[in-house]
Amino acid sequence: MDTGLRDKVAVVAASSRGIGFAAARGLASEGARVVMCARDAERLESAATELRSSTGAEVLAVVADLTDPTGPGRVVDAARERFGRIDVLVTNTGGPPPMPFSQVREEDWTRTFGSLFLSAEKLIRLALPGMTKARWGRVVALTSCACREPVPGIVLSNSIRISLHGLLKSLVLEYGESGVTFNAVLPGFTLTDRMKELLASRSKSSGRNPQELAVEATQAIPMRRAATPDEVAAAVVFLCSQAASYITGVSLPVDGGRGGFVL
Ligand code: NAD
């Protein structure tokens, strides 16, 4: 399949590791020029170096905190300065801390809204005018399967992420004829470094083996295994491709069949 991504300029948010990094690598492997961002300069530069050497792609690394009001603007400005345009935008950021409703304070809601919703909204707002002018663009939001089926213990994520889907659907209505598509990828249990760290910390607090905890976490998944970050990235690359030109407003779960919903 020709993805039509050669020489396209793709901004991938929160991409120094995990699913964001895999999405950046997937797009770079298709010949896109990639703009990566994250907060930690050292880790970001080493991820960018790895991407350049493994794919031969042109990669720009921009240090930015997406929760900082100026962070998204810095990324978009740097992308435009270097490449002159943005064709593809993948929104992503770190997940909020797990906690039950009883522990959530008002400032946790505000912080999570800033991180999960506003960071993506700002990137979209800044990248969209160039895409509509070019009459071609792809926006893909990385959210979570918790948007379809709430996951116990992560009330902040369960509640706030869904608002981004409301935004994407609204943009489909407003920009349907613009040549820009708006979709989301919903990862399920994905074995990223963060997930390995979470399993290690749960193992420490429960005294149970991390391997055993990982197997337990896959019991509700018909495929009985976690996704690799590359499996999630493959869905992102497809939705960013020319082949997905008539797909917009879709929320694509990459979750091994979890949930058992008919649609
Ligand atoms: P990760 O911790 O491995 O990677 C997160 C990336 O985001 C890193 O590059 C980090 O530097 C960057 N980042 C975090 N906060 C940032 C900020 N404020 N500004 C800029 N960059 C920032 O995490 P992951 O497992 O790849 O998850 C990515 C997202 O997907 C998270 O929101 C997570 O909650 C969500 N998610 C993950 C899973 C899973 O099983 N791994 C499942 C569903 C949803």
Residue 201 has pLDDT above 90, yes or no: no
What is the number of domains present in the chain?
Answer: 1
Predicted pLDDT at 40: 97
Q: Is there an atom of ligand 1 within 6 Å of 210 CB?
A: no
Q: Is there an atom of ligand 1 within 6 Å of 192 CB?
A: yes
Predicted pLDDT at 200: 85
And the tokens for 115? 């991180």
Q: Is there an atom of ligand 1 within 6 Å of 193 CB?
A: yes
Q: Could you report how far apart the first and last alpha carbons of the chain are, in Å?
A: 26
| Residue range(s) defining the domain that contains residue 99 | 9-190+228-254
135 Cα–ligand 1 center, Å: 30
Compute CA distances 219 → 38, 88, 102, whole Å: 33, 35, 27
DSSP letter string, 98-125? PB-GGG--HHHHHHHIIIIIIHHHHHHH
Residue 51 has pLDDT above 90, yes or no: yes
Classify residue 208: in a domain, yes or no: no
Classify residue 96: in a domain, yes or no: yes
Instruction: Give me the mean pLDDT over the 66-84 stretch.
Output: 98
Residue 210 has pLDDT above 90, yes or no: no
**Planar angle of CA 184, 237, 38, nearest 5 degrees:** 75
Q: Is there an atom of ligand 1 within 6 Å of 38 CB?
A: yes
133 Cα–ligand 1 center, Å: 31
Residue 161 has pLDDT above 90, yes or no: yes
Mean pLDDT for the chain? 96
Q: What SS3 state is found at 173?
A: helix
183 Cα–ligand 1 center, Å: 18
Q: Is there an atom of ligand 1 within 6 Å of 142 CB?
A: yes
> Which residue out of 92, 165, 189 has the highest number of ligand 1 atoms within 8 Å of its CB and is therefore the one to mutate?
92
| The pTM of the whole model exceeds 0.95 | yes
Residue 199 has pLDDT above 90, yes or no: no
Q: Is there an atom of ligand 1 within 6 Å of 214 CB?
A: no
Band (pLDDT 50/70/90 cuts) for residue 211 is confident
Predicted pLDDT at 227: 97
Q: Which amino acid is at 136?
A: W
Band (pLDDT 50/70/90 cuts) for residue 259 is confident
Return the ligand 1 atom nearest residue 17 CA.
9
Return the ligand 1 atom nearest residue 20 CA.
26
Residue 91 has pLDDT above 90, yes or no: yes
Classify residue 2: in a domain, yes or no: no
4 Cα–ligand 1 center, Å: 27
CATH number, residue 175: 3.40.50.720
Classify residue 148: in a domain, yes or no: yes
Predicted pLDDT at 144: 97
Contact 97, 153 (CB under 8 A): no
Band (pLDDT 50/70/90 cuts) for residue 156 is very high
Classify residue 68: in a domain, yes or no: yes
Classify residue 205: in a domain, yes or no: no
**197 contact partners, CB below 8 Å, separation of at least 6:** none
Classify residue 106: in a domain, yes or no: yes
Classify residue 199: in a domain, yes or no: no
Q: Which amino acid is at 98?
A: P
Return the ligand 1 atom nearest residue 96 CA.
34
Q: Is there an atom of ligand 1 within 6 Å of 187 CB?
A: yes
DSSP letter, residue 190: B
Predicted pLDDT at 197: 86
Instruction: Give me the mean pLDDT over the 50-63 stretch.
Output: 98
Band (pLDDT 50/70/90 cuts) for residue 203 is confident
Query: Around Cβ 73, how many Cβ atoms within 10 Å?
Result: 15
pLDDT digits (tens, 9 = 90+) for 229-258: 999 999 999 999 999 999 999 999 999 999
